Amino acid sequence: METTRVSLEKKVLSENDRIAANLREEFHQRGILCLNFISSPGSGKTSLLECTLAGFHPATRVGVLTGDIQTDNDARRLARYGFPVQQITTAGCCHLDARMIEKSLKLWNLDELDLLLIENVGNLVCPASYNLGEHAKVVVLSVTEGEDKPLKYPATFHKARAVILNKIDLLPYVPFNLDLARQNIRAMNPDAAIIETSCTATKGLSDWREWLENAQAEVRSPVAV
Amino acid sequence: METTRVSLEKKVLSENDRIAANLREEFHQRGILCLNFISSPGSGKTSLLECTLAGFHPATRVGVLTGDIQTDNDARRLARYGFPVQQITTAGCCHLDARMIEKSLKLWNLDELDLLLIENVGNLVCPASYNLGEHAKVVVLSVTEGEDKPLKYPATFHKARAVILNKIDLLPYVPFNLDLARQNIRAMNPDAAIIETSCTATKGLSDWREWLENAQAEVRSPVAV
């Protein structure tokens, strides 16, 4: 029974990997940077995306896919910035998968995009197992969650290309040790960029934008990817 | 393929339900109140359990099982209060299941317990699908996570017998509307108790203890369960 389950899970994951590889190739051909944002519920992914969109020139060729088990709240929040946004409602499923992305992207002309931002379902565990064809995973950790989370959710932090330490405006009010958090992230992932932000106090957003611009430049460069 | 997956998932869940039913019967026979604590990572489940244990008389017959994907940090934190604690390390699995509980309880003499507190893996989605034989699910929501979470994670809030709104000491610093949060919880679950707490500022803990005592009385009463 357990063996059947594991082998089936492998089959599901390899099917996902196949679709994700196609998506990645498509993004690569078109020079699209695709980012997959992963975090616990309520860490501030949507707020970070709002700040990011708000900082873009209206001509920026960016699209957003936002996943939730239920509600289209996030899509409505994000649509206010004038860029194309689609909600993916997973109806119970705890993560986005490559097929959902493939299906949503059929509604868009990819030639009109340079940047695709995917906000995953709020869950620090399962989304890390499902590749969506992204160029990089961005993990958001709010300082209210505690500095031990990288050790408790090692796979997710290990796969991150950037870790956003968000809500740093709350640091005076919570028992969060920034140095220890950095040390714990480094223990799981020596190479990830670590960027401190506050979307409500608009702190650290220039560091985040710089990281984003570098990632875009890397995808456009013929030597990269 | 999808059909096979769904039917296998059903099989896994019904096997889980079978073990959970045995556990529930065992708890019932012995008059043990078993609570299953579910929340996002970093909502304060461990802190709430620390406050709860700290308030108990040393003779209280309570045991704690605490689940994490990795690390035994929480078990070490909780063991300081002198009551029996076991860490369940799921090694990648995003939730506790009934078999893990059954296996852990083999190490204890259940005749020595009146209360079993189970801290699930930090995840607001998957743990709600796996019954652990508990008398009630207690969902913890930190006010830093936003008042929309009950709408986005409906199954979890729907199954809660009590919802703890935690970290209320942070209310002056976060955009969290308590009335709207209560309204959203009520929309998913008209009957759940809603209890406001802060473990760092020790607020609302007497309300929580009162709820706990009532739940224990209910399990001990011959007419209940």
Confidence of residue A6 (pLDDT cuts 50, 70, 90): low
Q: What is the rounded distance in angstroms from the CA atom of residue A82 to the CA atom of residue A122?
A: 24
Residues 6+ positions from A28 with CB-CB distance below 8 Å:
A219, A225
Residues of B in contact with A123 (CB under 8 A): 94, 123-126
pLDDT average, residue stretch A73-90: 97
Shortest CA gap A14–chain B (Å): 13
Query: Largest Cα–Cα distance of chain A, in whole Å?
Result: 54
Nearest CB to A122 within list B11, B124, B170: B124
Is A152 within 8 Å of B122 when comparing Cβ atoms?
yes
Which one of B68, B94, B100 would you mutate to disrupt binding with A, by most A Cβ within 10 Å of its Cβ?
B94
Compare A225 and A19 and report the one with higher pLDDT: A19
Is A173 within 8 Å of B175 when comparing Cβ atoms?
no
CA distances from A172 to A41, A169, B20 (A): 22, 7, 43
pLDDT average, residue stretch A113-133: 97
| CB environment A36-61: b (16+ within 10 A), e (fewer) | bbbbbbbbbbbbbbbbbbeebeeeee
Report percent pLDDT > 70 for chain A: 96
Residue B138 sits at the vertex; the CA angle it makes with B132 and B143, to the nearest 5 degrees, is 140
- Tell me whether A122 touches chain B (CB under 8 Å): yes
Q: What is the pLDDT of residues A105-121, one digit of tens each?
A: 999 999 999 999 999 99
Please report, as a single letter, which amino acid is at residue A207. D
Nearest CB to A152 within list B4, B40, B68: B68
- Tell me whether A201 touches chain B (CB under 8 Å): no
Closest-CA residue to A166 (of A105, A122, A135): A122
Q: What is the pLDDT of residue B222?
A: 59
3-state helix, strand, coil in chain B (%, to 5): 45, 20, 35
Nearest CB to B41 within list A153, A154, A169: A153
- CB contact at 8 A, A118 and A101: yes
A:61-120 residues touching chain B, CB 8 A cutoff: 68-71, 73, 92, 94
Q: Given a cut of 50, is residue A224 above it in pLDDT?
A: no
Mean pLDDT of chain A: 94
Closest-CA residue to B32 (of B66, B59, B61): B61
Compare A24 and A222 and report the one with higher pLDDT: A24
Is B123 within 8 Å of A122 when comparing Cβ atoms?
no
Is A122 within 8 Å of B126 when comparing Cβ atoms?
no
Residues of A in contact with B40 (CB under 8 A): 40-42, 122, 124, 145
Is B142 within 8 Å of A144 when comparing Cβ atoms?
yes
A:16-55 residues touching chain B, CB 8 A cutoff: 40-42
Q: Given a cut of 90, is residue A9 above it in pLDDT?
A: no
Q: What is the pLDDT of residue A225?
A: 44
In this structure, the strands spanning B160-166 and A115-119 are unpaired
Q: Given a cut of 50, is residue A1 above it in pLDDT?
A: no
State the CB neighbour count (10 A cutoff) for residue A133: 25
Please identify every stretch of chain B with a pLDDT value under 50, giving residue numbers as ranges.
1-2, 224-225
CA distances from B97 to A201, B13, B22 (A): 41, 9, 13
Q: What is the pLDDT of residue A12?
A: 78
- Segment among A3-17, A63-77, B59-73, B77-91 with least mean pLDDT: A3-17
Q: What is the pLDDT of residues B31-43, one digit of tens each?
A: 999 999 999 999 9
Residue A19 is encoded by which pair of tokens? Answer: 């679709």
pLDDT average, residue stretch A44-72: 97
Nearest CB to A173 within list B68, B155, B170: B170
B:164-193 residues touching chain A, CB 8 A cutoff: 167, 169-170, 173-175
Q: What is the pLDDT of residue B225?
A: 44
Q: What is the pLDDT of residue A178?
A: 97
Q: What is the pLDDT of residue B59?
A: 97
Nearest CB to A149 within list B42, B121, B154: B42
**Placement of tokens 């690569």 in the chain:** A28
Question: Residue A133 — left, alpha, or beta (φ > 0 → left; ψ -120 to 50 → alpha)?
Answer: left
Q: What is the rounded distance in angstroms from the CA atom of residue A185 to the CA atom of residue A194?
A: 8
Q: Rounding to the nearest 10 degrees, give the CA dihedral for residues A116, A121, A126, A127.
A: 0
- Tell me whether B122 touches chain A (CB under 8 Å): yes
Q: What is the pLDDT of residue A190?
A: 97
**Can you list the positions of beta strands (E) in B2-96?**
33-39, 62-68, 85-89
Is B151 within 8 Å of A71 when comparing Cβ atoms?
yes
